[in-house]
Structures are given as structure tokens and as C-alpha cells.
Amino acid sequence: MKYARVAYQGLLHEAIVTDNGVKLQDGRVVGEEEVIWLPPVVPNTIFTLGLNYADHAKELSFSAVQKEPLIFFKGPNTLIGHKGKTVRPDDVTFMHYECELVVVIGKQAKQVKREDAYHYVKGYTIANDYAIRDYLENYYRPNLRVKNRDSCTPIGPWLIDKEDMKDPMNLTLRTYVNGKITQEGTTSDMLLSIPELIEYLSEFMTLYPNDIILTGTPKGSVNTVVGDEVVTEIEGIGRLVNTVVSEEVFQK
């Protein structure tokens, strides 16, 4: 099943997305164009992986072998839903998307072994973890000014049950900018797999239902500008559509 959170005619709905349309919580079925898409989960803690694909790590001239995975947190201010608008500050030169598989935790997890890890997963969704590299500083890098900006983490369109996902470690990820493919990779290239990530994190902290893990991005991140339509797509989940807008459109 595909679970979504949508707004329709002034009410927030927990909806199910089917081939016929969006089935609202009261049973009505409406068109995908008729609803406003919200982030499909209201997360507690948002974990994000940096450099979790070997090819992307190379692209960022990251050469040394890591002793520990690079993990950082995000605040709820960053999330927006499918078909949302992400603001690009006027003064920046390099803002790039990152297509990422998102793991949604379904059950409290503490000191979980990798072989049991999938029992703690509720499902999967897609995130586009934009970064504004102009603001990169070498303190708690990537610093929050790069990665914790309002609207800069589109997520969705829906959450897909883990039962409907055959092998999350073998999915093609693609990003299209204005219809042209700019990024392509596979989750099989992750350095730390989903079970390894859950084992690693739950070893030193407790994971809770609706915590989410953004698992990193493969190579192919290119600059995006105002007006670009950026589609991040993951096989077996769907396509997350986002548009880059200017500060003027966003704030004024």
C-alpha cells in the first residue's frame, strides 16, 4: 500500500494512493491533481547519511576511508511534500539536489542486529536532500546552514509498505531536471546498507517509530536554478516532483 498525507477541501487526510486515485480517509476517491501533498510521515528524528555512496564520496573529493559513517540530523522545518516549492537564495552559485531512499522506522529499536533490522522498518519513501554548497563550512560539516534550510528537503509522494518492496538494496535512483536525466545510481552501491545503518544507529541510541533515515545519494548532483523542475525517482516507489523558486516568490 501507498500511504499519503494530503490536504483536500480544507481537511488533512491520511490517504491511500491507488491506480484509481487518492482514497481519502472517509472513502472518497479524488484525483492526484486535486490534493495538496504533505510529507507522508511526521517524523521524530530525521537522520541523514553523507557520503554513503562510494562514487558520490569521490565526486566530493572525499578520499580518506571513513572510520565512522557521516550522519547528521535535520529539523522539521526542512520538509515539504510532493509538488512543493523549494527556495534558492538569490546570492548562491551552487545548489544541488540529492535523490535519496528514505527508511521509515516502524518499531522502537535498540541494539538491533543487522539480520533482524528489517523487522523494525515500516516502509520507504523518497527524499530530495538539497544542499547549498556556497554555505559549506568545516565545522560539524555539513553544517546546518547548508542542510537544514526551510523547504530544502522535499519528501514523498507517499510511504510504501516494506511488504510491497522486494529488495530495497537493489533499486535504481534517477533524477531528472526539466525532464532530462542528470543522476542515475543504484541502492546496491550504498557503503552502509539499510540493515547495517539500523544496527549502527541503534547500537548507541534508541530509534523510535516514525524516525526516518535518509540513506545518501549516488553521484550526479548538478546545480539547479530558479524555475527548474526536479524529479527524484526511485524504482518501486515513485516520482517526487519539486520546483526551485526564488526568494522573492517564496517569501514576499
> Contact residues for other proteins (CB under 8 A)?
44-45, 68, 70-78, 135, 137-141, 143-145, 148-150, 204-208, 251
Q: Nearest Cα to 36, choosing from 12, 64, 63, 7?
A: 7
Strands lying side by side in the sheet with 238-246 = 84-88, 238-246, 229-234, 172-177, 180-186
User: Nearest distance from residue 205's CB to other proteins, in Å?
Assistant: 5
Distance CA 83, CA 53 (A): 27
The letter for the amino acid at 18 is T
If the CB atoms of residues 52 and 148 are measured against other proteins, the closer one turns out to be 148
User: Nearest distance from residue 106's CB to other proteins, in Å?
Assistant: 16
If the CB atoms of residues 100 and 211 are measured against other proteins, the closer one turns out to be 211
Q: Nearest Cα to 240, choosing from 62, 79, 67, 34?
A: 79
User: Nearest distance from residue 131's CB to other proteins, in Å?
Assistant: 13
User: Nearest distance from residue 78's CB to other proteins, in Å?
Assistant: 8
Question: How big is the chain by its Cα radius of gyration, in Å?
Answer: 17
- Collapse the DSSP code of 217 into the 3-class scheme (helix H, G, I; strand E, B; otherwise coil) and give the result: coil
If the CB atoms of residues 2 and 88 are measured against other proteins, the closer one turns out to be 88
β-strand partners of 13: 6
Q: How far is CA 106 from CA 41, 112, 121, 155, 208, in A?
A: 11, 13, 5, 17, 7
Distance CA 222, CA 184 (A): 12
If the CB atoms of residues 44 and 188 are measured against other proteins, the closer one turns out to be 44
- Which alpha helices (H) appear in the chain, and where do they start and end? 54-59, 144-147, 194-204, 247-251
If the CB atoms of residues 73 and 222 are measured against other proteins, the closer one turns out to be 73
User: Nearest distance from residue 230's CB to other proteins, in Å?
Assistant: 21
User: Nearest distance from residue 122's CB to other proteins, in Å?
Assistant: 17
If the CB atoms of residues 25 and 77 are measured against other proteins, the closer one turns out to be 77
User: Nearest distance from residue 31's CB to other proteins, in Å?
Assistant: 32
- Collapse the DSSP code of 45 into the 3-class scheme (helix H, G, I; strand E, B; otherwise coil) and give the result: coil
The CA-based dihedral angle spanning residues 214, 185, 99, 137, taken in that order and rounded to the nearest 10 degrees:
80
If the CB atoms of residues 104 and 241 are measured against other proteins, the closer one turns out to be 104
